Structure 1
Amino acid sequence: MTSDEDSTTEPPRTSRAAAKAERRQNLIDATITSIAKYGLSGTTLARVTDIAGTSIGLANFHFETKERLFEAVLTHLADEQRDLWQNRNLDASLSSADRLMAIIDSRFHSRICDRKKLAIWFAFYGDAGARDIYRKVVGDLDDELLEATVAILKLMIDEGGYTGIDPMETALALEAMYDGMWLNMLLYPDEFKRLDCRRRALQFVSAILPRHFQPATDRD
């Protein structure tokens, strides 16, 4: 006869891993909510766990420190944006214009342009003490995205026979425009709607690369 201990069915490892990942993501989501409402300085592990409905002990188990939690939040947001444009660019049949459009769409996707998430980016931009965390976590993504944009622009310039266009300067201008649109969406949500900002970005590239782009209707 088997003992009670021997007969106990152990939950599948996948179930435990999924539960652990869910608890971890719950803490990340709670941190996003806290930073958006209280800022970086007002976000503590106690406040995060209160929003998440869990214990500080669990937060310490997953992240050890508030700084590690902040790094996890930035990693989550960066991966979310990277996945949007990289997954589309896996299609080898895409044209150069489609590839640049994938990057533009990733910047103005509904999942990215959530006002709480936008608030996170600007919280890290504006806090002197948090910029090192930003550079550590997101610096590679920024470089990767800039390099990809420059490579696409070089191809488009060659294809279209454009003259007087510097791909690096154009890529940097696009990055500045994205950030400016995000800031306006955060500060003036009634005046700067996500799809309107996407349309303005498309108008910009249409003016520079008219043989590749025509103003298009809004789409996700």
Structure 2
Amino acid sequence: MTRPALQTDPRPPRTLSKDARRAQLIEATISTMAEFGYSRTTLTAVAKRAGLSHGLVLFHFDTKENLLSETLDFLSEEYRANWQAALAAAGDRPEAQLEALVRADFNPVICTRDRLAAWCAFWGESQSRPIYQARCGSNDEHYNRVLEGICAEMNLRHGYSHDPARVSRLIRISIEGVWLDLMTMAAPYATEEAMATVWLGLSALYPRQFQPLT
């Protein structure tokens, strides 16, 4: 006797693990911040975006401040893991490491409109700055030290004489600047153009290792 094939229920599960539910709410928070900004993001708005009850958001995060702080932690850790993985795969040549760091910032997982808008929200409103410094300051310092070290190594290996601190700062603010352009221009250019803009700066700083992207 042939048994009928089992049918797979296409509907999502009614319940999720605690970690999965928290991840869902953090993604909803990122999306809500992208639309409303930092101060106008509320637990009610996040619950509505996630399709869940206000009480469930309270159960997982207690307060809006906790939810926003943990959202910032998530973004910071996602960003750190992204650039460190890119750097680990780049090998020991400083030009390959520099290329890896720049390309990592335009990874389509990281460089999305919602994520850029959420970063801008945390950067731009005064009430979020103490939270940002407390949560992200050490990660930022680590990234800056790594980037400066790569620029110093470019001098040693390739005969440049740039000030590593200033050059690394220039590269960093170039990336952050095109990120801001992507969020604030009425008709923003494509992500590929944003990276090409940063690349033009690299080609001016290190012309023997980098050529402008076409």
**Which TM-score tier does this pair reach, normalised by the shorter chain?**
0.7 to 0.9
2:144 is matched with which residue: 143, 146, 162?
Answer: 146
Deviations 1:161-210 (A, max 9, x none): 112x1000111111211111011111226342111111111111111112
- Residue 75 of structure 1 aligns to a residue in which SS? helix
- Residue 135 of structure 2 aligns to a residue in which SS? helix
Q: Which runs of 5+ in 1 are unaligned?
A: 1-17
1:194 is matched with which residue: 182, 191, 195?
Answer: 191
Residue in 1 that maps onto 2:99: 101
Residue in 1 that maps onto 2:13: none
Q: Report the Cα distance in structure 1 between the residues aligned to 2:201 and 2:74, rounded to whole angstroms.
A: 29
Aligned-partner residue type, residue 174 of structure 1 = I
Residue 177 in structure 1 maps to residue 174 in structure 2: yes
Stretch deviating more after TM superposition (144-153 or 34-43)? 34-43
| RMSD, matched Cα | 1.7
Q: TM-score normalised to the size of structure 2?
A: 0.86
Q: Report the Cα distance in structure 2 between the residues aligned to 1:176 and 1:215, rounded to whole angstroms.
A: 18
Q: Report the Cα distance in structure 2 between the residues aligned to 1:92 and 1:105, rounded to whole angstroms.
A: 11
1:4-15 map, 5 Å: none
Q: Report the Cα distance in structure 1 between the residues aligned to 2:206 and 2:40, rounded to whole angstroms.
A: 45
Q: Report the Cα distance in structure 1 between the residues aligned to 2:131 and 2:60, rounded to whole angstroms.
A: 18
Residue in 2 that maps onto 1:209: 206
Residue in 2 that maps onto 1:74: 72
CA pair 162-128 structure 1, distance change in 2 beyond 3 A = same
Identity between Structure 1 and Structure 2 (%): 34
Q: Report the Cα distance in structure 1 between the residues aligned to 2:207 and 2:168, rounded to whole angstroms.
A: 16
Residue 23 in structure 1 maps to residue 21 in structure 2: yes
CA pair 118-189 structure 1, distance change in 2 beyond 3 A = farther
1:25-174 map, 5 Å: 25-91=23-89, 93-163=91-161, 165-174=162-171
Structure 1 segments (4+ residues) deviating >6 Å: none
- Residue 33 of structure 2 aligns to a residue in which SS? helix
Q: How many residues align?
A: 199
Residue 52 of structure 1: how far off its partner (Å): 0.9
Q: Report the Cα distance in structure 1 between the residues aligned to 2:206 and 2:200, rounded to whole angstroms.
A: 10
Q: Report the Cα distance in structure 1 between the residues aligned to 2:154 and 2:201, rounded to whole angstroms.
A: 15
CA pair 92-120 structure 1, distance change in 2 beyond 3 A = closer
Residue 124 of structure 1: how far off its partner (Å): 1.5
